[in-house]
Homo-oligomer: A and B are copies of this chain.
């Protein structure tokens, strides 16, 4: 079973990396870029085949390691 995890900064949290991309795009002549936010995308392949168990495990991974829940949100998708 594969888990797709998106870790994104919470709204309102400053994103200097996104801002840098936005400035670079502006400098390259791309107009009309209002905002850029950068997050992380993580794919985890699990041997677990039970969806509920896999989801619980991945949730714990996010809480303990993959996301800083003070400033980041995470979203889990199992496929």
Q: Are B39 and A42 in contact (CB under 8 A)?
A: yes
Q: Are A65 and B24 in contact (CB under 8 A)?
A: yes
How many A residues have CB within 8 A of the partner chain?
33
A51 and B25 CA atoms in complex are apart in Å by 19
Q: Which of A1-45 contact B (CB under 8 A)?
A: 6-8, 18, 21, 24-25, 28, 30-45
Q: Does A71 contact B (CB under 8 A)?
A: no
Q: Are B28 and A64 in contact (CB under 8 A)?
A: yes
Task: Tell which of B42, B64, B66 touches A37, judged by Cβ atoms closer than 8 Å.
Answer: B42
Q: Are B34 and A45 in contact (CB under 8 A)?
A: yes
Shortest Cβ distance from A66 into chain B, in angstroms? 7
